[in-house]
Structure 1
């Protein structure tokens, strides 16, 4: 897969003596560079000659950043691809287990704050890295986060499964993407979104051991959000492409949009509303009490909840961005000093199931009598 330069063109000529470039891996390819066709922010386009077929082709060569650690972005490493008939097979580094399994192996009791912080920091780093190159993951959830080695301390994670990822410039707000229960409300309303809310919901699951909104449909998801955080402001609902699917407008009320009743949703969709919550909150501040009940009091629980409230803000314009998360007081020097942490034991696992439709449900053996917590 090397690039061979002819006598009149050198690599430095193509890079204008200012940058170095690399080519994404391909299998058994050798190309001869003949001319520079164009140069942009992220790389160059060169006219090349396939030395096997003598065919003239255009190749985009991305800029190399030798100052970047390939492991720093906390994104799964891609090792190349190959063809199996008409199928394209991707080669990735083998990792240990997904974060959903990692949480389940600890009896879904949640992790200590001292262990949540490092994982949240790594995932923030991954999203910030994607944002710096204009990529949206679009399906952030524990099932798409992989633990490198569950026995390693501190735990390292990688973001994976880019099946829905796309350039930020190509995101169509009217396309509902992601997994119900982890998406932002603006996704269901058909508005531009950021991924800090999905990251915040993953962080809550790390701290409590259970998903905050284990729902089966968008209607129940919005209902539970409203019960916990209140209704999105009218100016957000006014802009939504799909607001009418969930709300009724009444210009004579102070709050002009009213969420449809369960009976209306069932009549319109044919699906009844289901009570699937494991923990019920009257407000996000109650998360601190839930963590104290499940794990006992810990330092920085109040700071963690403060960060979560900023990450779960209903108005995307007021929501903290991934690049701002690490500047929150939760990530202070004291917490950073506790990042090196030992692994914890793996007690009997609770039966938390995940459906093929990419939504979370709770199996009957998961909700044990007397364990539901309402605050």
Structure 2
């Protein structure tokens, strides 16, 4: 950058004038600086497109214009305020946000987030992907660095997806193209297979897994080790041995066995009640992009639709007590007195069999205590679900 473009420089567009501030971050093809809109003193972020990549400026702005049609703020996407050329440079002005998730986690020494925090973040980002899909836009670079907290102090875990410098229209995705940062790269990109918007869902799944684990789900050193880890966790296809890989590619690999060998290990490492989240992750990280869950489907997953296990189980148990009271004089078989635990979906009452089926994963201790207390008083036997099986 020439010396004339520095902190304090005044920039002029057809809409407004801006003053450059201090450095914030590096983005795709450019640097991002703090800025100020002079007429209103509004804080903004100003992206300066590098000289060698001036053609990327119009490409990113084209993507941002598409996003403007679907109301960026409502769909958890960064809002573009202005775009202009000045002194042989391209500038894009954005709303000012707080910090990216990578920076946020680094300040916590990458300690994992709680499941309630992950739920809030993941739901917002799935809304963002749903919106992008509606306009046929693929981000292609979803990662911790490109997810920003809006204002963590006043709006905890409110996030937006940023940096559309590598975004492409769906019809412009070319088989064999290489994009996405190594740990987040979808298998179809690594293997040169046909591509669709599922590459974003894969990258988001890996991002959310990192929030749960505090570390990457797969090794980051080579495509071979990543694919080997995928095979271990998610199913098998014919994978070359290290020797076969060396013969074919001339690349020697040292096996990295530090990755998880199954999704269950995520649960074991955290010892959390996160079965529903892991169930969602499995569907986000399906090897076959055409079977991978879509944003619309993901937002209907029980991880989001079943919000309060304790309250719903208490409600179910209260229903049993009311039913007993109403039928105090009726003969009831032992079978009719059984609470049947099933998989994770929703509650229902089968009135023909006088049986309440609590379709919940009741692993939370408080839930167990509630059920045990209620059924001990009534003398019923209880069958509790063991939770979904993932393999």
Shorter chain as normaliser: what TM range? 0.5 to 0.7
Q: Name the structure 2 match of 1:281.
A: 260
Within the alignment, does 1:133 sit opposite 2:135 as a pair? Answer: yes
Q: Measure the CA separation in 1 of the matches of 2:90 and 2:170.
A: 25
| Residues 8-39 of structure 1: per-residue CA shift (max 9 Å, x gap) | xxxxxxxxxxxxxxxxxx9438xxxxxxxxxx
Within the alignment, does 1:228 sit opposite 2:233 as a pair? Answer: yes
Confirm or deny: 8 A CA contact 2:139 2:166 kept in the other structure.
yes
Confirm or deny: 8 A CA contact 1:127 1:322 kept in the other structure.
yes
CA separation of 1:64 and 1:70: change in aligned 2, threshold 3 A: closer
TM superposition shift of 1:151: 2.4
* Partner residue of 1:192 out of 190, 195, 201: 195
TM superposition shift of 1:337: 12
* Partner residue of 2:241 out of 237, 249, 261: 261
Which residues in structure 2 correspond to 1:117-128 (within 5 Å)? 117-128=119-130
Within the alignment, does 1:209 sit opposite 2:214 as a pair? Answer: yes
TM superposition shift of 1:122: 0.7
Q: Measure the CA separation in 2 of the matches of 1:175 and 1:327.
A: 32
Q: Name the structure 1 match of 2:307.
A: 334
CA separation of 1:108 and 1:336: change in aligned 2, threshold 3 A: farther
TM superposition shift of 1:179: 1.5
Within the alignment, does 1:291 sit opposite 2:270 as a pair? Answer: yes
TM superposition shift of 1:136: 0.4
TM superposition shift of 1:331: 0.3
TM superposition shift of 1:306: 0.7
Which residues in structure 2 correspond to 1:51-90 (within 5 Å)? 70-90=72-92
Q: Measure the CA separation in 1 of the matches of 2:114 and 2:222.
A: 31
TM superposition shift of 1:165: 0.5
Q: TM-score, normalised by structure 2?
A: 0.58
C-alpha RMSD over aligned residues:
2.8
Q: Measure the CA separation in 2 of the matches of 1:65 and 1:80.
A: 12
Q: Name the structure 1 match of 2:298.
A: 325
Q: TM-score, normalised by structure 1?
A: 0.60
TM superposition shift of 1:309: 0.8
Confirm or deny: 8 A CA contact 2:83 2:93 kept in the other structure.
yes
Q: Measure the CA separation in 2 of the matches of 1:129 and 1:64.
A: 8
| Residues 260-298 of structure 1: per-residue CA shift (max 9 Å, x gap) | 2223334554544245565x3221222211221xxxx34
- For the pair shown, the structure with the greater C-alpha radius of gyration is 2
CA separation of 1:313 and 1:335: change in aligned 2, threshold 3 A: farther
Q: Name the structure 2 match of 1:22.
A: none
Confirm or deny: 8 A CA contact 2:219 2:225 kept in the other structure.
no
Q: Secondary structure at the match of 2:81?
A: strand
TM superposition shift of 1:157: 1.0
- In structure 1, list runs of 5 or more residues that go unmatched: 1-25, 30-61, 233-257, 339-375
Q: Measure the CA separation in 1 of the matches of 2:283 and 2:138.
A: 20
TM superposition shift of 1:174: 1.9
Q: Name the structure 2 match of 1:111.
A: 113
Q: Name the structure 1 match of 2:322.
A: none
Q: Measure the CA separation in 2 of the matches of 1:170 and 1:220.
A: 29
Q: Measure the CA separation in 2 of the matches of 1:333 and 1:313.
A: 23
Confirm or deny: 8 A CA contact 1:102 1:150 kept in the other structure.
no
Q: Measure the CA separation in 2 of the matches of 1:73 and 1:136.
A: 15
CA separation of 1:321 and 1:64: change in aligned 2, threshold 3 A: closer
Q: Name the structure 2 match of 1:308.
A: 281
Confirm or deny: 8 A CA contact 2:72 2:78 kept in the other structure.
no
Q: Name the structure 2 match of 1:162.
A: 164
Work out the number of aligned pairs and report it: 248
Specify which structure has the bigger relative contact order, considering alpha-carbon pairs within 8 angstroms and separated by 6 or more residues: 1
Confirm or deny: 8 A CA contact 2:68 2:79 kept in the other structure.
no
Q: Measure the CA separation in 1 of the matches of 2:72 and 2:283.
A: 30
